[in-house]
Amino acid sequence: MIQLRHIERVFMVGEEEVHALRDVSITAEAGEYIAIMGPSGSGKSSLLNILGLLDRPDSGAYELDGTLVSNLDEKQQAAIRMHKIGFVFQFFHLVPRLSAFDNVALPLVLSGVKPDERQTRVSTALAAFGLGNRARHRPDQLSGGQRQRVAIARATIMQPSVILADEPTGNLDRSSGIEVAEILEELNHQGMTLIMVTHDPDMGKRSRRQILMVDGRVEGGKGEDRSP
Amino acid sequence: MLPFDFFRYTLKSVTAQRLRSLLTATGIAIGIGAVVLLTSLGEGLQQFVLAEFTQFGTNLISVNPGKVTTHGISGALISNVRPLTIEDARILKNIPQIIDTVSVVQGNAAIESGGRQRRTTIYGVDASAARVWRFEVAAGRFLPDDPPRAARSFVVLGSKVRRELFGSSQALGARVRIGGELFRVLGTMESKGQMLGFDLDDSVYIPTGKAMALFNRDSLMEINLLHSAGSSSTTVAEQVKKVLVARHGSEDFSITTQEKMLEVLGGVLDTLTFAVGAIGGISLLVGGVGILTIMSIAVNERTGEIGLLRAMGVERNQILALFLGEAVVLAAIGGLAGLGLGVGGSWLCSLLIPALPAHTSWSYAAAAELLAVVVGLLAGVLPARRAAALHPVEALRAE
Ligand SMILES: Nc1ncnc2c1ncn2[C@@H]1O[C@H](COP(=O)(O)OP(=O)(O)OP(=O)(O)O)[C@@H](O)[C@H]1O
Ligand SMILES: [Mg+2]
């Protein structure tokens, strides 16, 4: 379960204060599927960065699965990113010199999982994402949709409890975008909490719950379930 | 991260940019190569040069006509220079510490026997030469101790000349023609090999007087003095100088003690060592700067990757270690190539100069590789720290 309470995030641009997040409070149950929407510059990415422990709020509290993670130190936060959070990015962020297999294996490598266990886990994941015959291909030898599937396989290989996706379909055509969304939804079905930033209203409608951000605020109350 | 995986990851980053990495490693390779070459040859080179210059004995002093101003030897052609004579040599021999003298005249001439001819170096020397220069006679004997003005026409052949003129047939007692005059072969020498490129075996020895007549000169080119082992070469040289100045009226000659010669050579060797060392040092520095540059570029290029790694739970100091590791791998590859260069180079040197002992000890090789690694570490610190300091959100935004 995720709980954000009164999160503030202010950037200093020269002399000026930019309020990226203003008093954001959100609760998300484990296994929820949430779309974060809103105009450009409204704070969607800032919110996701806080949720992913990539950035610290200036004030407010963040509780993840019962732990007050906003108070943890760097090292502990890194451990939580490694084991509990999977990131999916608009521009895939694959390591260009590594094969699809090695990209997916990267989190396992970093957390010290032994090679033979990696082999089975990564092969299973690649097969499950329809990439069984692409294991040895480098990212530049894959289509956009395939790249994003590799990225999702990598984000979920550690079995995180939360997937954070910032416009995962933003760089894909319609059909591969839908394909990627279906994969993410399938993972959500298996129990992972899915929080996805999107500009696309059709994508947003697929989720059970949408959060609308405007000018750093969660529009329409405090982010309670607004779906019919 | 398992150590093996860490190594694989850094190695893969280095090999992904093959050409770039190779060029970067070259600086380190040249530096380490020079260092290894120095340590492999250094010791051997000193011994080699010492052996080369003491093979004729250790207590030698040579006197040449003309004043040596620089390290070059000015000719005996300057008009107000009184030539060195056999008489000078005879008088020098009266100095108590001087055991023997050799009056030397040298030139090139054809030597001929039974239709075979060869141009060779002719040395006009005294009977004492074999003793003073420690030449071994292979067969027969060396020149007899004839009075200088009435020396008989005997010749002693160097091993190569003997081989070229006589092959496997008997040389002793044979008659050879040198510059129109007949000489009888009295002896042949043991092979002496080369000294600094001069083939000592491609020469013959005849009495000084005969050589002076042959080359049409009435003075000596050099007087070699052998002094007793107990006496100091400087003191003896002083006495030689006093005697000759008294005879010549001024110091129109130059005295070189072997000590002095070795000193000069030692200086040359030190300069050489310093030069190679400097090249090595500069190459290492340039190599280090190269690694620093290339790692800075790598950090810029891979900012997105750094952000990704941070998002996947890699800590700052692990990012630092990864990039330091890459710099070290680069330097270590250069170091290994340098070891190859150095060992290969010293092997080639000992191939070209067989008497030159080359030896690379494992401890020096390990120290050189360690040096490369240290250079890599130092060069990697700055870029690696910059990589570690990146904010993950900023890093992820760069693409
Ligand atoms: N590092 C930063 N420094 C200064 N201002 C920032 C920084 N990051 C974000 N901002 C500002 O915070 C606000 C929210 O940015 P954010 O990236 O969260 O918007 P967004 O909703 O993701 O927009 P988009 O849909 O264009 O991605 C913007 O006004 C932005 O300019
Ligand atoms: Mg954004």
Cα A81 to Cα B330: distance, rounded to the nearest angstrom: 31
**What value does the mean pLDDT take over residues A177-196?**
95
> Would you say B138 and B190 are in contact if contact means Cβ atoms under 8 Å apart?
yes
A139 to A97, B267, B301, B312: CA distances (angstroms): 8, 61, 16, 19
For ligand 1, is residue A40 a contact (CB within 6 Å)?
Answer: yes
Cα A99 to Cα A85: distance, rounded to the nearest angstrom: 23
Q: What is the pLDDT of residue A227?
A: 41
Cα B147 to Cα B136: distance, rounded to the nearest angstrom: 23
Chain A residues near residue B1 by CB distance under 8 angstroms: 109-112
The ligand 1 atom at the shortest distance from the C-alpha of residue A44 is 21
Tens digits of per-residue pLDDT, B147-175?
888 889 999 999 999 998 998 889 899 99
B267 close to A (CB below 8 A):
no
| φ/ψ (deg, to 5) at A36 | -100, 125
Chain A residues near residue B11 by CB distance under 8 angstroms: none
Cα B18 to Cα B13: distance, rounded to the nearest angstrom: 9
A11 bridge partner residues: A18
Chain B residues near residue A80 by CB distance under 8 angstroms: 313
Chain B residues near residue A52 by CB distance under 8 angstroms: 311
**What value does the mean pLDDT take over residues A169-178?**
92
Q: How confident is the model at residue B271 (pLDDT cuts 50, 70, 90)?
A: confident
For ligand 1, is residue A42 a contact (CB within 6 Å)?
Answer: yes
A193 bridge partner residues: A162
What single DSSP character describes residue B96? T
**What value does the mean pLDDT take over residues B131-139?**
87
pLDDT at A105 > cutoff 60: yes
Q: What is the pLDDT of residue A160?
A: 96
Cα B52 to Cα B46: distance, rounded to the nearest angstrom: 10
B311 close to A (CB below 8 A):
yes
Instruction: Suggest the residue from A97, A152, A158, A161 to mutate for an interface test with chain B (most B CBs closer than 10 A).
Output: A97
Nearest to A142 by CA among A155, B308, A165, A133: A133
Average pLDDT taken over every residue of chain A: 92
Instruction: Suggest the residue from A73, A81, A108 to mutate for an interface test with chain B (most B CBs closer than 10 A).
Output: A81
pLDDT at B272 > cutoff 50: yes
Cα B384 to Cα A127: distance, rounded to the nearest angstrom: 37
B21 to B13, B27, B122, B374: CA distances (angstroms): 10, 11, 58, 18
Which residue in A75, A97, A110 is closest to B16 by CB distance?
A: A97
Question: Token digits for B305?
Answer: 């990757």
**What value does the mean pLDDT take over residues A61-72?**
93
Cross-sheet strand order for the sheet of A67-68: A16-28, A2-13, A59-64, A67-68
Pocket test residue of A7, A13, A18 for ligand 1, highest count of atoms within 8 A of CB: A18
Chain A residues near residue B14 by CB distance under 8 angstroms: none
Q: What single letter denotes the amino acid at residue B381? A: V
B390 to A54, A95, B305, B306, B326: CA distances (angstroms): 12, 18, 11, 8, 18
What single DSSP character describes residue A133? G
Q: What is the pLDDT of residue B195?
A: 65
For ligand 1, is residue A41 a contact (CB within 6 Å)?
Answer: yes
Which residue in B12, B311, B315 is closest to A97 by CB distance?
A: B12
Q: Give me the helix-helix angle, B3-15 and B18-54, nearest 10°.
A: 90
Residue count of chain B: 399
Q: How far is CA A31 from the centre of its chain?
A: 14
Instruction: Suggest the residue from B9, B15, B308, B316 to mutate for an interface test with chain A (most A CBs closer than 10 A).
Output: B308
pLDDT at B249 > cutoff 50: yes
Which ligand number lies closest to the CA of residue A38? 1
| Closest-approach residue (CA) in chain B for A80 | B313
**What value does the mean pLDDT take over residues B371-386?**
96
Cross-sheet strand order for the sheet of A193-197: A85-88, A162-166, A193-197, A33-37, A209-214, A217-218
Q: How far is it between the farthest Cα atoms of chain A?
A: 54
Per DSSP, the three-state class of A56 is coil
Cα A225 to Cα A228: distance, rounded to the nearest angstrom: 9
| Closest-approach residue (CA) in chain A for B308 | A93
Chain B residues near residue A73 by CB distance under 8 angstroms: none
Q: What is the pLDDT of residue B133?
A: 85
Average pLDDT taken over every residue of chain B: 88
Q: What is the pLDDT of residue B200?
A: 79
Q: How confident is the model at residue B310 (pLDDT cuts 50, 70, 90)?
A: very high
For ligand 1, is residue A134 a contact (CB within 6 Å)?
Answer: no
> Would you say B186 and B141 are in contact if contact means Cβ atoms under 8 Å apart?
yes
Q: Which of A75-79, A216-220, B227-231, B351-355 has the lowest mean pLDDT?
A: B351-355
Question: What domains does chain A contain, in order, with CATH numbers?
Answer: 32-57+73-223 (3.40.50.300)
DSSP B75-92: -TT-TTPPPB-HHHHHHH
Cα B342 to Cα B41: distance, rounded to the nearest angstrom: 10
pLDDT at B66 > cutoff 90: no
Q: Which of A171-185, B223-237, B311-325 has the lowest mean pLDDT?
A: B223-237
- Which residue numbers of A have CB closer than 8 Å to B's CBs? 49, 52, 54-55, 74-75, 78-83, 87, 89, 91, 93, 95, 97-98, 106-107, 109-112, 114
Alpha carbon of B308 to ligand 1 centroid (Å): 19
**What value does the mean pLDDT take over residues B340-344?**
92
Q: How far is B2 from chain A (nearest CA, A)?
A: 5
Q: What is the pLDDT of residue B207?
A: 95
B156 bridge partner residues: B187, B205
Number of Cβ within a 10 Å radius of residue B348: 12
Question: What region does A18 belong to: left with phi over 0, alpha with psi -120 to 50, or beta?
Answer: beta
Chain A residues near residue B320 by CB distance under 8 angstroms: none
Q: What is the pLDDT of residue B194?
A: 67
A16 bridge partner residues: A13
B389 close to A (CB below 8 A):
no
Question: Is B304 within 8 Å of A112 when comparing Cβ atoms?
Answer: no
More confident residue, B200 or B96: B96
Cα B152 to Cα B144: distance, rounded to the nearest angstrom: 9
**What value does the mean pLDDT take over residues B30-55?**
80
Q: Which of B84-98, B256-270, B316-330 has the lowest mean pLDDT?
A: B256-270
Question: Is B313 within 8 Å of A106 when comparing Cβ atoms?
Answer: no
Nearest to A218 by CA among A8, A1, A62, A2: A8
**What value does the mean pLDDT take over residues B209-237?**
90
Q: How confident is the model at residue B68 (pLDDT cuts 50, 70, 90)?
A: low
Q: How confident is the model at residue B354 (pLDDT cuts 50, 70, 90)?
A: confident
Q: What is the pLDDT of residue B81?
A: 63
Which residue in A55, A75, A81 is closest to B312 by CB distance?
A: A81
More confident residue, B293 or B351: B293
Residue nearest to atom 31 of ligand 1 (CA): A41
More confident residue, B348 or B303: B303
Q: How far is B6 from chain A (nearest CA, A)?
A: 9
Q: How confident is the model at residue B266 (pLDDT cuts 50, 70, 90)?
A: confident
Q: What is the pLDDT of residue B248?
A: 87
pLDDT at B311 > cutoff 90: yes
Q: What is the pLDDT of residue B71?
A: 46
Q: How confident is the model at residue B362 (pLDDT cuts 50, 70, 90)?
A: confident
Pocket test residue of A24, A36, A42, A164 for ligand 1, highest count of atoms within 8 A of CB: A42
B352 close to A (CB below 8 A):
no
Question: Is A78 within 8 Å of B314 when comparing Cβ atoms?
Answer: yes
What single DSSP character describes residue B226? E
B319 close to A (CB below 8 A):
no
Alpha carbon of A45 to ligand 1 centroid (Å): 7
Which residue in B1, B307, B315 is closest to A109 by CB distance?
A: B1
Q: How confident is the model at residue A221 (pLDDT cuts 50, 70, 90)?
A: very low
Tens digits of per-residue pLDDT, A123-159?
999 999 999 999 999 999 999 999 999 999 999 999 9
- Rg (alpha carbons) of chain B, rounded to whole number: 32
Tens digits of per-residue pLDDT, B70-100?
444 454 444 456 788 999 999 999 999 999 9
Q: What is the pLDDT of residue B69?
A: 53
pLDDT at B240 > cutoff 60: yes
**What value does the mean pLDDT take over residues A14-25?**
94
Nearest to B111 by CA among B172, B150, B164, B167: B164
Q: How many percent of chain A have pLDDT more than 90?
A: 92
Question: Token digits for B70?
Answer: 């620089």
Chain A residues near residue B315 by CB distance under 8 angstroms: 74-75, 78
Q: How confident is the model at residue B399 (pLDDT cuts 50, 70, 90)?
A: low
The ligand 1 atom at the shortest distance from the C-alpha of residue A42 is 21
Q: What is the pLDDT of residue A223?
A: 44
Q: How confident is the model at residue B265 (pLDDT cuts 50, 70, 90)?
A: confident
